[in-house]
Structure formats: structure tokens, C-alpha cells
Amino acid sequence: MRSVRARAYACAATAAALLGAVTLPAHAAKTAPTVVLGPNLLPNPSFESSVIEPSPVPQYATSQPLLPVGWAVEGATGLFDHGQHGAHSGKRAVTISDPASTPRDFCQQKTCVNDPADAPRASAQEYYSETPMWRTQSAIPVTAGKTYELSAWVSWSLETIDYGAVTDVRWVDGNGVPVGISAGPKLIADARNSPALAWKQISGTVKAPAGAKGAIVLLGDNDGPWNSSLTYDDAYFGTYTVVASKPRKK
């Protein structure tokens, strides 16, 4: 009888200990932090509007317009294509098709020479890209010290191992002079002659440095040694705010 009672007391003590381990006072329970994204600050983020289709010409009347509204190009030689060749949403997207060259070399028929553009540059020029990039035509107003999220949907038809989608944000002051650059999200091929990639979203956060009044968003393809074709669509750039969790009331 004594051993039965001992086992019963032991079971009761174990149950009480387990309950105590998983039961928290109501005032101690907390909710997870919440991320709040602001409005999309990018112009024409889905690249649907073209600069050569002013009203009243119907949208999409031209299958391969020159440039999307609000965007320009920058960097080494590449084929910048704004057309209707498959998009994540809508009908248009922006593509970079790299020739046989790298950001620092020109290559043709398996022979490479130094890129003449890759010469010593002034400090401000260091902020400009040699990698082919689609970029916002004008600086987007930002606040120094604030955090922003940059995201985009990416696909490619062919990409070489260790190369792929790379993004940057170039910060400028009130006069448009660069004051810094931040690497954005990227997506790098993990196999040589990587096969076609279906649409995949990349995202990351960047922080505006001291003195920043504007941001130039850049979306690029750093695959140079081999031909490649990489497409961006449905990009986003906006404020990223973390709202701290609050204890639940009793």
C-alpha cells in the first residue's frame, strides 16, 4: 500500500511540474514583433508603362518599347530589353542579356582585353556600376537613418555558376552627389550553365546613411564570361518598420 501511495504522489508531482513548465502567467505572454511596409516608392514598379506610348495610344500597342517610364540603364555593355517576353504579372518586364564580357573585360572569340572604362576613378565615381543595371531614372526621396526594403521577382533563361541577379541602392545627397551604396538582395546560380529559373522573389533591407536625401535603385545581372538572360518584374522599395511586441493584458 505504501509503494502504491508513493507512486501516486510521484505521478501527481510530475504532472504539477509539467503543468508549471508550460503554463505562463497571462502578463508574461507576448506577441511577435510586426513588420510594417510602407507604400511602394518605385515608379512603374511592374514596368508596364512605356515612354513611347503616350495617351491616347493604347497600352501594349508596341511589343518592345525602348524604356519603361521612370527607368534608365547603367553599366557595361549589355542588351537591355523592355518587352513582352514573359512577365511575372501584366505583360511586360525588364531583361538584361549579357554579351561575352565582364564588368572589367571585353571578351570576343575567347580573347579578353581590359575594359577601358575600368580605369582609376574619383571617389564619387566609385558609386556608379560597371555591372549592367536597370536603374530608377530619378532619385527617390528618403530619410537618413531609416530602413527600407528592396524586393523584386527574378527569372532567367540561362545563368553561369556564381553569377546572377544583383541589386544595389545608391544613396545621394540633396544635390544628387553619391554619399554611399548598399548591396541589396541577390540570387546567384549554384550550377554551371544553370537551367531556366521560374519566377522567384528576392528581398532584403538597406539603411539610408547619414546625409542621404535620395535613393537610386539598381537591378542588375553580373554574369559576364558567358551569355545570359535575366529578367526582373514587380519590384518594391519602401520603408521597413518593426513594431515592437507588447505584453498581453491580464
Would you state the pLDDT for residue 14? 44
**Residue 170 has what pLDDT?**
96
pTM of the predicted model as reported, rounded to 2 decimal places: 0.77
Q: What is the CATH number of domain 35-243?
A: 2.60.120.260
For the record, the C-alpha cell of 125 comes out as 565615381
pLDDT score recorded for residue 107: 54
Q: Which of 99, 103, 140 is nearest to 121 (CA)?
A: 103
In angstroms, the CA 56 to CA 46 distance is 21
pLDDT at 229: 86
Exposure class string for 188-204: b at 16+ Cβ within 10 A, else e: ebeeeebeebeeeebeb
Q: What is the pLDDT of residues 166-213, one digit of tens each?
A: 999 999 999 999 999 999 999 998 876 566 778 999 999 999 999 999
**Distance between CA atoms of residues 148 and 237, nearest Å:** 7
Name which of 243, 221, 241, 224 is nearest 232 in CA terms.
221
Q: Could you give the angle at the alpha carbon of 122 between the alpha carbons of 116 and 123, nearest 5°?
A: 130
Residue type, 11: C
Phi then psi for residue 226, to 5 deg, are -130, 160
Q: Tell me, what's the pLDDT at 163?
A: 87
Question: By three-state DSSP, how is residue 41 classified?
Answer: coil
Q: Using 50 as the pLDDT threshold, list the residues of the chain that sit under it.
A: 1-28, 101-103, 108-109, 116-117
